[in-house]
Amino acid sequence: MAEPVTLAEIKADLRLDLGPSADDGTLTRNITAARRMVELKTGRVIVGDAADVAGDDLETAKQAISMIVGTWYANPEGISVDGRGEMPLGVGWIIASLKRWDDGCDA
């Protein structure tokens, strides 16, 4: 199953050398973890047979994934505000735009 954001894309976003490096394994694991975090927070599926994110929504999800991986790379020990773990600034807004809201109507 291919992740929606590649290692090369993350390295380009982070302005890292695109060649092989000791960080590749960590970045690859962080891509998967960030994608799963976005899926969990949005209630949507980004990869796999049941994927329901495409087009502009997929590009938006990719941006959230990239921002999360970038934050984890820059702050491997985590970030905290008032003792609570926090997502990078802006990710909450991006995730909110991807959520499926149950309006109580059956379509």
Terminal-residue alpha carbon distance, the chain: 30
Residue predicted with more confidence, 103 or 48: 48
Residue 107, pLDDT > 70, answer: no
- Local structure of residue 104 (DSSP, 8 states): S
Structure confidence by residue, pLDDT tens digits, 69-104: 998 898 877 666 555 656 666 788 788 888 866 544
d(CA 86, CA 18): 29
- Residue 101: what pLDDT? 60
- Mean pLDDT along residues 26-54: 95
CB 3 within 8 A of CB 48: no
d(CA 68, CA 66): 5
Supply the pTM of this predicted model: 0.81
d(CA 78, CA 48): 29
d(CA 87, CA 67): 9
Q: Residue type for 62, please?
A: K
As given in the structure block, the two tokens for residue 60 are 């938006």
- Residue 83: what pLDDT? 57
- Residue 15: what pLDDT? 96
pLDDT band for 5, please (50, 70, 90 cuts).
very high
d(CA 37, CA 54): 17
Domain ranges of the chain: 7-98
Scan for tokens 């929606």, then name that residue.
4
